[in-house]
Amino acid sequence: MNYQTLRHNCPSWNNYIQHEFVQQLTAGTLAADSFRHYLIQDYLYLIHYTRVMALSVYKSDTLAQMRVGQSGINAMLDLEIGMYLDFCHQWGIPLADVEGAAESAVTIAYSRYILDAAMSGSLAELYAAIAPCLMGYGEIGKRIKDNGFITGNPYQPWIDVFSSDEFQAITAQNEAQIDLLLADASPAQADKFQRLFDTAARMEVNFWQQALDLS
Ligand SMILES: Cc1ncc(C[n+]2csc(CCO)c2C)c(N)n1
């Protein structure tokens, strides 16, 4: 089993990567309130994602695996979450509103799903569950870049992050890490990995959709 197999067999992958939210963001036509809704919910999601990274250290068998988790935690706490707070500021959302926002049902479902996979499963299961999250945004950024940026897109700063060479390099490292962990899966384990991956990808679709629906 490897990442490309998971991705290839996932029924909702294209809907995740090419979701209407992503298309409107790429075209610069996305409603500002949808983007704000996304930013707030993603900030809340990323806090739980950081907890999953912490569990990845706990579930590690080797120091090398622990260090991957450690650098994931550092990236979240030192960069990613701050970046989302900066975006919120730029889009006129007061900090108190971000921090005090209620988690939506979709955010709760997705974040607690990956937390449960992290708590109850192996390190490989944990990575299968977060692989759509880890890998999908890199693919989205690459697609947007390959198709050519439009001028004057208010969402370009977000697109720049995920289409950057740095982020593409991180995505490639993540794929190698996932492939190492999934390599020796039995058929039963491979089924479990695919189920975790497919569910998480389905939740990513719901995550975009909730921003369009403001739900
Ligand atoms: C719902 C949702 N899914 C995926 C990501 C992307 N993402 C979250 S953490 C992480 C790893 C650190 O770079 C990445 C790529 C997101 N922000 N929100």
pLDDT of residue 170: 94
pLDDT of amino acid 9: 98
Nearest 5°: phi and psi at 19? -60, 150
**Protein residues whose CB sits closer than 6 Å to any atom of ligand 1:** 42, 45-46, 49, 75, 80, 133-134, 137, 204, 207
DSSP 61: S
The ligand 1 atom at the shortest distance from the C-alpha of residue 174 is: 11
Output the pLDDT for position 213. Answer: 98
Q: Which atom of ligand 1 is nearest to the CA of 204?
A: 1
User: Which residue lies with its CA nearest to atom 18 of ligand 1?
Assistant: 42
Å from CA of 134 to ligand 1 middle: 6
> In this predicted structure, what is the pLDDT of residue 126?
98
Residues in the chain with pLDDT values less than 70: none
Q: How far apart are CA 205 and CA 203, in angstroms?
A: 5
Rounded Cα gap, residues 42 and 93, in angstroms: 14
Structural contact between residues 203 and 109, judged by C-beta atoms closer than 8 angstroms: yes
CA of 69 to the centre of ligand 1 (A): 14
Give domain 30-213's CATH superfamily.
Heme oxygenase-like (1.20.910.10)
| 3-class SS of residue 128 | helix
